[in-house]
Structure 1
Amino acid sequence: MTGTGEHRLPYTVDCVAEADGTVRFTVAGPGPDGLVLERRKSGDRVRLALTRPPHGRPEAVLDASAELGEGRWDVFAGGGPAGEQRVEPGLRDLRTLIDRIPGPTAATVTARIPYRTADGTLAVRSWSRSPHAEAGELTVRDSSLTLRGRLYGAVPGGDAVVEARLRGVPGQVHRESARPGGDGAFSCTLPYGPLAGGDAAGGRFWDLWLRPEGVARGGPGVRIGRILDDIADRKSVFVYPGSPCGGGAAPGVTATPYYTVDNDLSVRIDPPKG
């Protein structure tokens, strides 16, 4: 929306994201008396007042302690002569978000990433998870995926397992032992063969979860994802190769790890091509 000859929105907003979840907004130009964040689908709204320092541009702060539910929040300028209007993203300083590490006592992991939407407007992607299993290094080999990660807000025990849950089919689960390490670290090697059973003619999607206490103790599962950096949408940025499933799967069936639109980790099983 900002190319030559295209319509420009009346306000441009710069952002500075801080590691604790605070986001600072600076508005270029006079007019609005505040900013409004509106969550898609739910319509939840958060209003931020603008302050006008003696020198400098109007500013608004989304405090780390403010409640901001998980999802995508569109940013509007409010109170201007034309009412609420979407804003253009200006400079986005996300340096403190790169490979950040929450405190060891953090019960809840909060992540907020300002980003440019597909239509050129400003939005904030927000996550709030307790506990949280952060995906780290992924190693793709023929017929398997080795995952390393770190759990925040809980401790993986000796009976911890990684579960692959077949999307849309409650109760269909494949489990592999998770090897715990220090400071919440865990790792697991997931063979693709067991995920390829049944009819894969239309593809199958397996979502990856960590069960920190194992299955026998009945503790809750924790969705495995990656949110502790500056990338709001990993799906199209981190692309992994597909591999033959092996393990008795039909020839030509492949498996590909990928991040969903919510930055959660999953595995896609594809049928033979042709």
Structure 2
Amino acid sequence: MTASAARRTPRADCTVGPDGGITFDLDRRREDGEASELLLRLRGAKSTDGGTVRLPLSPLRDGRLRAVLPGARESAEGRWDVYLREPGTDDDAAVAVEPGIRDLRLLVDRTPGAGPVAVRIPYPTLDGRLAVRCWLRAPHAEAGAVTFDGTGITVEATLYGTDLGADAGVEARQPGADGRVLRVPVTGQDGTFAFTLPLDRLADGAVTAQQLWTLWLVPGTAEGERAAGVRISRILDDVWDRKKIFVYPGRSTGEGALATPCYSTDNDLCLRLEPEPAG
């Protein structure tokens, strides 16, 4: 049997630590004098862009190999695919790693400390490979409960890394350079805030095609000026892609359109506006 035929796909168990670091335990052994390493590659990045993180592998008592991504090490926002570079091979020959057991318990109900909000979640890709979804936000607005009444959609959220300031607001931004912006006030203090999007102000004329509006918190300043917008997202748990998991009902705007809160594949909170179905 050739070496390529004998080789099987490596698999790694992942554990997220209290500091946000990730431990990878591979079901591989290391021969004496040979070294291998785990490669994390940022999807879409070029090799010259610093899009590869190299993690040395060390043997455990049971013979398996372990690599650790420290929590203090910042990772660029995006999706990082995990590869194993076997001893005696170069980076181009690295093989994709399969996901094993993923212990993500410490990500649930997490409260970030001071500094940028950094989140890393190991997850299985659609084609069965191991990847790590990373977010790095400074500041960050974490979406919470989304509720409805007869006239509007209300969102509760928490702000990290900055203050609301005077005259803070939330902007629902229509896509496109000439898109509309619907601004509403926020209420709250000590980092928590809430806002309501009135249904009757969303549609401006007939809605003939689906629109995906983005939601931004715009803190105020002491001088009453507008600060840069903060994207409203939900990333402080163990869900790496909530687009198809958090599904909300739509509400009629009363103008022939249906408004539905939703999440993008990047866990950013959005508002979908589309023609209301007949009947």
The residue aligned with 2:3 is: none
In structure 2, the residue matched to 1:68 is: 75
Between 212-221 and 200-209, the greater mean CA deviation after superposition: 212-221
* CA distance in 2 between partners of 1:18 and 1:201 (Å): 48
1:30 positional shift? 2.1
TM-score (norm 1): 0.89
Q: Distance in 1 between the 2:109 and 2:225 partners?
A: 32
Match of 1:193, SS state, is helix
Partner of 1:4: none
Larger radius of gyration: 2
Q: Tell me if the contact between 1:140 and 1:241 (Cα under 8 Å) persists in the aligned partners.
A: no
What do the CA deviations read for 1:162-201 (whole angstroms, capped 9, x no partner)? 110112235621111010222x000111112222113421
Match of 1:77 in 2: 84
Instruction: Indicate the residue corresponding to 1:101 in structure 2.
Output: 111
What is residue 270 of structure 1 aligned with on the other side?
Answer: 274
Aligned pair partner of 2:261 in 239, 257, 261: 257
Structure 1: gaps spanning 5 or more residues? 1-7
Match of residue 195, structure 2, among 151, 170, 188: 188
Deviation sequence 1:19-77 (CA, Å, 0-9, x none): 43211100012257111011111241111110113445211011112231100111001
C-alpha separation in 1, matches of 2:167 and 2:154: 18
Tell me, yes or no, if structure 1 residue 35 matches structure 2 residue 38: yes
AA partner of residue 37 (structure 2): G
> Which residue of structure 2 lines up, in the alignment, with residue 5 of structure 1?
none
1:192 to 1:120, Cα distance in 2 relative to 1, 3 A: same
2:231 to 223, 232, 237: 223
Contact 1:142 1:244 in 2 (8 A): no
Q: Report SS of the residue matched to 2:202.
A: helix
Distance 2:120 2:18 in 1: 9
Give the direction of change, closer, same or farther, for the CA distance of 1:238–1:185 in structure 2 (3 Å limit): same
Q: CA deviation at 1:213?
A: 1.1
Q: Which residue of 2 aligns with 1:3?
A: none
Identity of counterpart residues, as a percentage? 45
Counterpart-to-counterpart distance in 2, 1:187 and 1:242: 20
1:138 is matched with which residue?
146
Please tell me the residue identity of whatever aligns with 2:264: T
Structure 2 CA distance for aligned equivalents of residues 107 and 66 of structure 1: 13
Deviating 4+ runs (over 6 angstroms):
none
Instruction: From the superposition, tell whether residues 232 and 270 of structure 1 become closer, same or farther in structure 2 (CA, over 3 Å).
Output: same
Give the letter aligned to residue 182 of structure 2.
H
CA distance in 2, matches of 1:133, 1:199: 32
The AA in structure 1 aligned to 2:24 is: F
The answer to whether the 8 A contact 2:18-2:106 is kept is yes
Deviations 1:72-117 (A, max 9, x none): 11100112467300011000000000010112xx120000000010
Q: Which runs of 5+ in 2 are unaligned?
A: 1-6
Aligned length: 260
Change (3 A) 1:213 1:20: farther
Cα distance in 1 for residues equivalent to 2:15 and 2:140: 24
Aligned-pair RMSD on alpha carbons? 1.9
Q: Does the 8 Å CA contact 1:160/1:180 hold for their aligned counterparts? A: no
**Match for residue 246 of structure 2 among 238, 242, 254:** 238
